[in-house]
Structure 1
Amino acid sequence: ELKLRPNPERPVIEKLIDYEQFCGIPQAKEQEAKQKMDIPEMTVQELKQLIDSGADDFMLIDVRNPHEYEIAKIPGSMLIPLPDIEQGKGIEQVKERLNGHRLIAHCKSGIRSGKALGILKEAGIEGTNVKGGILAWSREIDSSVPEY
């Protein structure tokens, strides 16, 4: 049995703090929602139509990690991981390869690609997010693409 006594030098805790407020979570969520609202989106059906049309005026980037890209990928996509974009190296890769083409980005569900497009937008590169990411692609377009 362990007996505890209050420390007289510490203030008395009368109530718990608002954890999310303390950690800045509402501000982060608000900022993420604001970034997402400013970024155009397209459905996987619209992306499929674009790919099937044979158009070559767009660049499709996948911002997932390399091991995720090995598991499943959308045909014609180019891997530029979000950490590379956050560090600046990926921004340069996009700039080098974009050549006036329309930028389209996807990830697993659309969250990371939205974040990547927000970072790219700050660098002066506009893009469109694929709503639902590769999970939506697998469920709605090509069931042979594995879900993970």
Structure 2
Amino acid sequence: QGTTLSGRLLLYNALDMTFRQLKLRPNPVRPVIEKLIDYEQFCGIPQAKAQEASQQTQIPEMTVTQLKELIDSGAKDFVLLDVRNPNEYQICQIPGSVLVPLPDIEHGAGVAKVKELLNGHRLIAHCKMGGRSAKALGILKEAGIEGINVKGGITAWSEEVDPSVPQY
């Protein structure tokens, strides 16, 4: 391990528990680094988080109990979109849901499939806990498709509506 202090490098050898000090000279060709950069800003993390948060706040949500009431009412004017991965869909599904995985939506093929499925119906989307479906709805919104996110996803469905649905 090493640390620098005013142009010196202090090395610690853990094997024999000794310190060694090396003198460092600045490289005249390189600029002097006086402070560290803001890593999150450099990588664009705050902007990405802000965009994701604003997308999620603009997407309407419904609870799993509201979805259950809608299904029980016999309404046929909606498509229930499941954006989880196929292996997750094999574990459990909400009755009547249609699988279009988020990666397909992100790559564009899923957007066309969703447009085809809707055929004038309204869109309700869910995933495991609500994050991926919100992301999918954000992408679909950019393509001109509005939808409602199921808050808490299939995990909330299992906890609040149908305990026989396995949680994973």
Question: With structure 2 as the length reference, what TM-score do the two structures score?
Answer: 0.81
Match of 1:44 among 48, 60, 64: 64
Cα 1:14–1:59, aligned 2, differ >3 Å: closer, same or farther? Answer: same
- SS of 1:61's equivalent in the other structure is strand
In the TM superposition, 1:1-148 aligns within 5 A as: 1=13, 6=24, 8-9=26-27, 15-148=35-168
Structure 2 spans left out of the alignment, 5+ residues: 1-12, 14-18
- SS of 1:83's equivalent in the other structure is helix
1:18 is displaced (CA, Å) by 2.9
- Matched to 2:126, the amino acid is H
Structure 1 spans left out of the alignment, 5+ residues: none
Residues 68-90 of structure 1: CA deviation (Å, up to 9, x unaligned): 11112111100000010011100
1:142 is displaced (CA, Å) by 0.9
Cα 1:7–1:125, aligned 2, differ >3 Å: closer, same or farther? Answer: farther
- Equivalents in 1 of 2:84, 2:23: separation in Å? 51
- Equivalents in 1 of 2:33, 2:155: separation in Å? 46
Larger RCO (CA within 8 A; separation ≥ 6): 1
Residues 49-76 of structure 1: CA deviation (Å, up to 9, x unaligned): 0011111110001001111111121111
- SS of 2:47's equivalent in the other structure is helix
1:16 is displaced (CA, Å) by 4.0
1:12 is displaced (CA, Å) by 5.8
- Equivalents in 2 of 1:27, 1:139: separation in Å? 34
**Count, aligned residues:** 148
Q: Which has the larger radius of gyration?
A: 2
Cα 1:5–1:130, aligned 2, differ >3 Å: closer, same or farther? Answer: farther
- SS of 1:146's equivalent in the other structure is coil
- Matched to 1:72, the amino acid is C
- SS of 1:70's equivalent in the other structure is helix
